[in-house]
């Protein structure tokens, strides 16, 4: 095991989340209340970079401050640049919703983002944590060159200390790990077996697994227990399938095997579909919005509420009502179907074991109609129980299953943790001792 203290950065194409593990057996926790986060979720930093060209040269801004800027007048805004950094076969030809196609030095944009993130965190109440921790980054699991080397170079240039061992983990595995540990970490020194060299510090997997919740059946099973974690993000939908071997139950559990894949299917395509479906005036008005304004509007649009935009001549434009609403519903339904189709592809190409539990995460799962449609489709398989972290009854039911009196603080804490896991599971899992 290599890194005692570790910060993990889940570089999301839309929002970046950061978690920390302060010791071998300490919990993995999200960094909250971040100065760079937007107003809505205090652990989500918009993955937006802005360059303002002025007489004194270029000035770079990142996070919520960059997301609040509107493009034009020497202000260049880069969103979804992660897609440029990692996309291979289909280099993104068009930026988000009609924005420019200028080619940029994407490594430079990434470096400015990581530098800005480090500087902001160092100046925050997490300053000491950052100074004393190595860093690991979550990247998509898809065909790409040497991600580890590339990210290590970017981290170096941005002044971060890369982790020893793995500098990157894949998003599906870190997210799945976040789910089945809920951020628990436990290590131990296994007793020496006769004639074998003594092992060093090792994972204590049994202590890291959640005793109830979606692994509740695990302890009762003999043989294989499989969990499928689906993450609908801005750029990719990620699948992680974790297979536990439950054929014995000593302290010395086998590491589960994880198969995983990211597919280029993300909410930005849904945004694009909405943009394409409105008329030119509305498109112009959308282009004039700051990234932060659009993200706030789309929350309403996706739950079926109309929004008002300011047109070029000051006229107010209403979108999302009437026929628009029908188109949004159709786009969401189509997107849900594609998620299920990609799930079938993943199962066909990668999964050989049983699926006993499945769970849905990512910002995409916060979109209620999409969440409903996907969960409904998943629930057709009776053997594979859908475990819904956003179900408001989950905390109380799960805690009650433990027996004894359920305290309100515990219910609240679990509900909060569930919300953190849905959005920040990859960051939480990325700092797990599982990857040490
Ligand atoms: N309540 C909501 N309503 C509508 N959209 C939402 C809501 N919450 C999150 N989103 C959107 O979901 C998308 C995905 O968010 P998420 O944080 O999972 O993306 P990401 O991790 O940055 O992407 P990726 O993992 O693909 O790189 C974003 O476009 C975000 O704006
Ligand atoms: Mg993500």
Give tens-digit pLDDT for 154-189: 999 999 999 999 999 999 999 999 999 999 999 999
Ion ligand 2 residue ranges (Cβ < 5 Å): 12, 233
28, part of any domain: yes
Say if 302 falls within a structural domain.
no
Tell me, in angstroms, the distance from the centre of ligand 1 to residue 403's CA.
36
Q: Is 98 helix (H, G, I), strand (E, B) or coil?
A: helix
The pairs formed by 400-409 with CB atoms below 8 angstroms and a separation of 24 or more are 401/212, 401/216, 402/211, 402/212
Lowest-confidence segment of 19-23, 86-90, 231-235, 261-265 by average pLDDT: 86-90
pLDDT confidence of 214, banded at 50, 70, 90? confident
Ligand with minimal distance to 234 CA: 1
What pLDDT, in 10s, does the model give residues 296-309?
999 999 998 999 99
Question: Is the predicted pLDDT of residue 250 greater than 60, yes or no?
Answer: no
Q: What is the mean pLDDT of residues 18-24?
A: 98
Contact 236, 262 (CB under 8 A): yes
Please report the pLDDT score of residue 100 as a whole number: 55
DSSP annotation string for 365-428 = GGSHHHHHHHHHHHTT-TTSEEE-TT-TTHHHHHHHHT-SPPPHHHHHHHHHHHHHHHHHHHHH
Kindly list the protein residues whose Cβ atom lies closer than 6 A to any atom of ligand 1. 12-15, 82, 171, 233-236, 266-267, 295, 298-299, 302, 362-364, 366-367, 423
Atom 10 in ligand 1: residue holding the nearest Cα: 363
**Does 333 map to a domain?**
no
Q: CA-CA distance, 418 to 392, in Å (whole number)?
A: 10
Residue 91: is its pLDDT beyond 90?
Answer: no
pLDDT at 86: 78
Please give the helix or strand (H or E) that residue 131 lies within, else none. helix 127-131
In a domain, 254, yes or no: no
**Does some domain include residue 207?**
no
Cα(218) to ligand 1 centroid in Å equals 31
Triad 90, 92, 97: Cα angle to 5°: 140
Mean pLDDT of 325-330: 91
Task: From 165, 241, 154, 127, select the one nearest 1 (Cα to Cα).
Answer: 165
Nearest atom of ligand 1 to the alpha carbon of 364: 12
| pLDDT tens figures, 341-396 | 999 999 999 999 999 999 999 999 999 999 999 999 999 988 888 999 999 999 99
> What mean pLDDT is predicted for residues 5-21?
97
Which mutation among 46, 363, 370 tests ligand 1's pocket best, with the greatest number of atoms within 8 A of CB? Answer: 363
Q: What spacing in Å lies between the alpha carbon of 366 and ligand 1's midpoint?
A: 8
CA of 382 to the centre of ligand 1 (A): 29
Q: Is 158 in a helix, a strand, or coil? A: coil
- pLDDT tens digits, one per residue of 111-160: 999 999 999 999 999 999 999 999 999 999 988 778 888 999 999 999 99
Q: How confident is the model at residue 73 (pLDDT cuts 50, 70, 90)?
A: confident
Cα separation, 309 vs 298, in Å, equals: 12
User: Which atom in ligand 1 lies closest to the alpha carbon of residue 362?
Assistant: 18
Range of the domain at 136: 6-175
Quick: pLDDT tens for 77-89. 999 899 888 766 5
Distance 362 CA to ligand 1 centre (A): 6
Whether the per-residue pLDDT at 90 is higher than 90: the answer is no
Closest ligand to residue 363's CA: 1
With a cut of 70, say whether residue 99 has pLDDT above it: no
Tell me how many domains the chain contains: 1
pLDDT at 193: 77
Q: Say what the pLDDT of residue 252 is.
A: 52
What SS3 class is residue 269? helix
Q: Is residue 222 in some structural domain? A: no
Atom of ligand 1 nearest to the CA of 44: 17
Closest CA to 140 of 269, 10, 272: 10
Query: Does residue 237 lie within any of the structural domains?
Result: no
* pLDDT value at residue 76: 92
CATH number of the domain where residue 111 is located: 3.30.420.40
Instruction: Give the position, in ligand 1's atom list, of the atom nearest the Cα of 41.
Output: 8
Q: Is residue 308 part of a domain?
A: no
Q: Answer yes or no: are the C-beta atoms of 160 and 120 closer than 8 Å.
A: no
- Beta carbons within 8 Å of 330's beta carbon, 6+ residues apart: none
């Amino acid at each position: 095991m290599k890194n005692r203290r570790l910060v993990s950065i889940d570089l999301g194409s839309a929002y970046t989340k950061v978690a920390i593990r302060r010791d071998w057996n300490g919990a993995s926790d999200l960094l909250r209340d971040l100065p760079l986060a937007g107003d809505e979720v205090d652990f989500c930093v918009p993955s937006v970079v802005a360059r303002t060209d002025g007489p004194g040269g270029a000035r770079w801004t990142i996070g919520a401050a960059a997301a609040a800027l509107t493009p034009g007048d020497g202000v260049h805004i880069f969103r979804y640049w992660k897609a440029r950094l990692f996309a291979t076969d289909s280099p993104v030809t068009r930026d988000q919703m009609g924005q420019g196609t200028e080619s940029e030095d994407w490594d430079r944009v990434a470096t400015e983002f990581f530098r800005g993130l480090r500087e902001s965190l160092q100046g925050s109440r997490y300053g000491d944590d950052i100074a004393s921790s190595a860093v690991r980054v979550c990247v998509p699991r898809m065909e790409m060159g040497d991600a580890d080397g590339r990210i290590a170079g970017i981290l170096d240039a941005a002044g971060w200390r890369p982790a020893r061992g793995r500098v990157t983990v894949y998003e599906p595995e870190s997210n799945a790990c976040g789910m089945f540990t809920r951020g628990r970490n436990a290590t131990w020194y296994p007793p020496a077996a006769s004639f074998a060299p003594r092992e060093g510090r090792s994972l204590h997997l049994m202590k890291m697994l959640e005793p109830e919740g979606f692994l509740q059946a695990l302890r009762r099973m003999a043989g294989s227990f499989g969990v499928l974690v689906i993450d609908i993000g801005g750029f990719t939908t990620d699948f992680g399938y974790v297979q536990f071997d439950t054929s014995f139950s000593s302290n010395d559990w086998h590491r589960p095997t994880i198969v995983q894949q990211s597919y280029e299917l993300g909410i930005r395509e849904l945004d694009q579909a909405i943009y394409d479906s409105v008329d030119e005036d509305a498109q112009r008005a959308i282009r004039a919005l700051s990234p932060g304004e659009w993200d706030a509007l789309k929350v309403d649009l996706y739950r079926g509420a109309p929004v008002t935009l300011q047109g070029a001549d000051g006229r107010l434009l209403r979108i999302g009502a009437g026929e628009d609403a029908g188109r949004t519903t159709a786009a969401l339904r189509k997107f849900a179907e594609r998620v299920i189709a990609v799930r079938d592809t993943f199962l066909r190409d990668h999964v050989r074991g049983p699926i006993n539990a499945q769970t849905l995460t990512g910002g995409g799962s916060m979109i209620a109609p999409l969440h409903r449609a996907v969960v409904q489709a998943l629930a057709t398989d009776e053997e594979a129980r859908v475990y819904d972290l956003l179900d408001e009854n989950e905390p109380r039911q799960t805690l009650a299953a433990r027996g004894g009196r359920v305290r309100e603080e515990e219910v609240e804490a679990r509900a909060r943790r569930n919300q953190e896991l849905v959005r920040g599971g990859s960051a939480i899992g990325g700092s797990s001792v599982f990857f040490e």
